[in-house]
Chain A
């Protein structure tokens, strides 16, 4: 690398960040320290460097002091490196002659001792100044953004994001991938939604249909994303369509085949109804399913399982849509951005054996209760006991699997509210007395506390205390033939036993079980609870560490429908802003070869995960294909002669930084 053409004239700008940095780091002392470093001709302090006046101050100083290199010591480069690179470039300096030193996330927010914090800030600035002295001007490469978008997950989040994108993004395609046979997600299972008690299918069904018929949306139902490669603006995606054994283009959803199936009775558990209702091998998951196409479960179908059947379904189908030989098929697409909206998994109530789920009769999860309450559900909207009677008393246990050291410590956020909703609906449909057992009643949200008040005035019984167990062991005659809920009433101060006919467990929201695989495929990270991690909890709540991939809905953490929809809109708008900008900047952190030093040993070629290094037989040296290089620097670390290096992370830059921090 050539020595810098002109002598360095470095400006150092130290940010107070209000009291965020100033409160811990002695900023005036740091400025004095910086001013005395070799090459530094100007150093100053400002309240908020990233603000407009802060940015102007940098530009003015560049003019006044003839600066040719700039260091800003403030927050993390993850947050504002782009901002300041733009500022220096507007001031006429190549943006790669800029260096950002992290003294907030890296110093003031993580250090208690003020003296040590100041010393740490100084040594980092020393390193930053040494590094910037040796940095070279570079050009970021720009590449076009493919306007197509991939949306993974067709719950309310994925559908809302798809529609927002499709409505704005004329001509380009939104590929919505849903792994179930129908879109709709968990919301499709509900009868009513809190706090307004509006009918879920009345708001959901039209949206589902709109997704299906929208000219800019291609729905891949009953499909999975099997691979994602590439980077922001240019992702290569492979989707696998699982066989429905029905030609989707021909099936008109008349359902005559279901009628005709050799199985006269529905006898296989219907997944959509959580096994509470039965279906045939050939079925439609629920009446409003979108797409309204049947499918055959190969585990249940006689022909697909055993190879012999009269195949009466085929005869019944006027459209010749049934194809029992169908195989999975894969499609490859190119998209520029991805929205992940894969939702949640309900907590498995068997993990709390003291509540008797799966063992005692008439103990159900809240999601099962949603199905009982649905007019299209197993009991057509009226929850019934196993013997067919209406329950006279029902107990709803809040926080099952949530706020619990043994399962999940976090609050699942929606359970108090949906438990109140269920209480209201159960009362309305059966006239039963309903008891809600809660730890704290959490009702923050517009109209939520009012909903709680309304239920109290309707005569809901609430008991504060964690339930110890649900048992059939009756102690009194009144308890006989009942389920007894034993709980300490923390307000009354004694243990209560409430006999009920039916128990509903308000199970919490958990990450989908395959979140880890999904995260690996997309290069995302997860928080401790296993939900997908946003880039910044406040400022970038739907962005991720991987540019061009956004998250929305319950896959990011427990949330209700209004919040989910808001996030879905935000994710769509983030994707659109990239699409409308049209180009993405690719950082020029690529590998470069010094041909004079290259011995042609080819060690680097085997190192590169992207096949970006080739060998020039004539010159007997390697060369790097810039567009393939992703800039990891693995090759540079492996090169025995020092011929291979990485732009902006050159060996001498790292060495200068090391010398600076010590």
Chain B
């Protein structure tokens, strides 16, 4: 009888992408709280770093996250027009656009860096975002970026 060799299951499933998420306190962090309160489950791969405003997010935070071993970085802020600090998120938007281009020039795929506007009651949107991003990263595989 032929013995069918299967790769060990652990090896197949061992790698889990790691997402570092920078969420603003007022909208997206609130959405993550609401997801909790409503028991909306999502992929366990995201780690939230809370900041008061998405405008606080220095591009160097994103680079540092990739350098430290993140496979993806997610920025979550209030919808345009809804910023708790008037207009911080517009600044985030402009910075993120430049940064996204730069990351792609450095060979980091577009899907690895996302900016999403997720409002305080958008628990479902948060779930979709995290699940989609995790799936994208699983498809892309580990990044292992060594920095510039």
Chain A residues at the B interface, C-beta cutoff of 8 Å:
76-78, 102, 104-107, 109-113, 116-117, 119-120, 123-124, 127, 520, 523, 525-528, 533, 536-537, 545-546, 589, 607, 609-610, 630-634, 636-638, 646, 649, 651, 654-655, 657-659, 661-662
B147 lies within 8 A of chain A by Cβ: no
Given A638-B91, A658-B68: A632 in contact with B37 (beta carbons within 8 A): no
Chain B residues near A655 (CB, 8 Å)? 61, 64
Chain B residues at the A interface, C-beta cutoff of 8 Å:
16, 18, 20, 26-27, 29-30, 32-33, 35-37, 39-42, 44, 47-53, 55-61, 64-65, 68-70, 81-82, 84-88, 91, 95, 119-121
Contact A662 B70 (CB under 8 A): yes
Q: Closest B-chain residue to A78, C-beta based?
A: B33
Contact A649 B52 (CB under 8 A): yes
CA gap between A649 and B61 in the complex, in Å: 12
Chain A residues near B84 (CB, 8 Å)? 523, 546, 632
Query: Which 10 A-B pairs give the minimum distances between C-beta atoms?
Result: A105-B36, A633-B56, A661-B47, A634-B55, A632-B85, A525-B120, A116-B44, A632-B53, A109-B36, A609-B86
Given A110-B35, A111-B44, A113-B44: A636 in contact with B68 (beta carbons within 8 A): no
Given A120-B47, A609-B86, A658-B49: A76 in contact with B33 (beta carbons within 8 A): yes
Contact B120 A609 (CB under 8 A): no
Chain B residues near A110 (CB, 8 Å)? 32, 35-36, 39-42
CA gap between A114 and B29 in the complex, in Å: 23
In the complex, besides A589-B52, A658-B70, A662-B47, 9 extra interface pairs with C-beta distance below 8 angstroms are A76-B33, A77-B50, A110-B36, A525-B82, A545-B26, A546-B84, A609-B85, A633-B53, A658-B65
Chain B residues near A589 (CB, 8 Å)? 52
Q: Closest B-chain residue to A527, C-beta based?
A: B121
CA gap between A113 and B43 in the complex, in Å: 9
Contact A526 B121 (CB under 8 A): yes
Contact B32 A106 (CB under 8 A): yes
Q: Looking at the assembled complex, report how far the CB atom of A124 sits from the nearest CB atom of chain B, in whole angstroms.
A: 6
Q: Looking at the assembled complex, report how far the CB atom of A609 sits from the nearest CB atom of chain B, in whole angstroms.
A: 4
Give me 9 A-to-B residue pairs in the complex whose CB atoms sit less than 8 angstroms apart, sorted by A's number: A76-B36, A106-B36, A112-B44, A630-B85, A632-B52, A633-B53, A638-B91, A651-B60, A662-B47
Contact A662 B18 (CB under 8 A): yes
Q: Looking at the assembled complex, report how far the CB atom of B25 sits from the nearest CB atom of chain A, in whole angstroms.
A: 8
CA gap between A104 and B30 in the complex, in Å: 14
CA gap between A88 and B83 in the complex, in Å: 32
Q: Closest A-chain residue to B70, C-beta based?
A: A662
Contact B39 A636 (CB under 8 A): no
Q: Looking at the assembled complex, report how far the CB atom of B15 sits from the nearest CB atom of chain A, in whole angstroms.
A: 13
CA gap between A53 and B81 in the complex, in Å: 45
Q: Looking at the assembled complex, report how far the CB atom of B68 sits from the nearest CB atom of chain A, in whole angstroms.
A: 5
CA gap between A264 and B30 in the complex, in Å: 58
Q: Closest B-chain residue to A525, C-beta based?
A: B120
Contact B41 A633 (CB under 8 A): no
Q: Looking at the assembled complex, report how far the CB atom of B22 sits from the nearest CB atom of chain A, in whole angstroms.
A: 8
CA gap between A646 and B48 in the complex, in Å: 19
Contact A661 B33 (CB under 8 A): no
CA gap between A104 and B20 in the complex, in Å: 18
Given A526-B121, A649-B52: A105 in contact with B81 (beta carbons within 8 A): no
Chain B residues near A113 (CB, 8 Å)? 44
Which of A111, A112, A632 gathers the greatest number of chain B CB atoms within 10 Å?
A: A632
Q: Closest A-chain residue to B126, C-beta based?
A: A110
CA gap between A78 and B56 in the complex, in Å: 19
Contact B119 A661 (CB under 8 A): no
Chain B residues near A661 (CB, 8 Å)? 18, 20, 47, 49
Q: Closest B-chain residue to A633, C-beta based?
A: B56
Contact B61 A654 (CB under 8 A): yes
CA gap between A338 and B13 in the complex, in Å: 53
The residue from B30, B61, B82, B88 contacting A78, defined by CB atoms under 8 A apart:
B30
Contact B20 A520 (CB under 8 A): no
Chain A residues near B35 (CB, 8 Å)? 105, 109-110
Q: Looking at the assembled complex, report how far the CB atom of B55 sits from the nearest CB atom of chain A, in whole angstroms.
A: 4
Chain B residues near A120 (CB, 8 Å)? 44, 47
Q: Closest A-chain residue to B56, C-beta based?
A: A633
Contact A637 B57 (CB under 8 A): yes
Contact B49 A609 (CB under 8 A): no
Which of A104, A110, A525, A589 gathers the greatest number of chain B CB atoms within 10 Å?
A: A110
Chain A residues near B88 (CB, 8 Å)? 609, 632, 634
CA gap between A610 and B83 in the complex, in Å: 13
Given A105-B35, A106-B32, A662-B65: A637 in contact with B119 (beta carbons within 8 A): no
Which of B50, B56, B65, B84 gathers the greatest number of chain A CB atoms within 10 Å?
A: B56
Chain A residues near B64 (CB, 8 Å)? 655, 658-659
Chain A residues near B58 (CB, 8 Å)? 636-637, 651, 654
Chain A residues near B40 (CB, 8 Å)? 110
CA gap between A636 and B53 in the complex, in Å: 11
Contact A111 B41 (CB under 8 A): yes
Contact A116 B61 (CB under 8 A): no
Chain A residues near B37 (CB, 8 Å)? 105, 109, 536-537
Chain A residues near B39 (CB, 8 Å)? 109-110
Contact B47 A632 (CB under 8 A): no
The residue from B30, B48, B65, B87 contacting A106, defined by CB atoms under 8 A apart:
B48
Q: Closest B-chain residue to A537, C-beta based?
A: B37
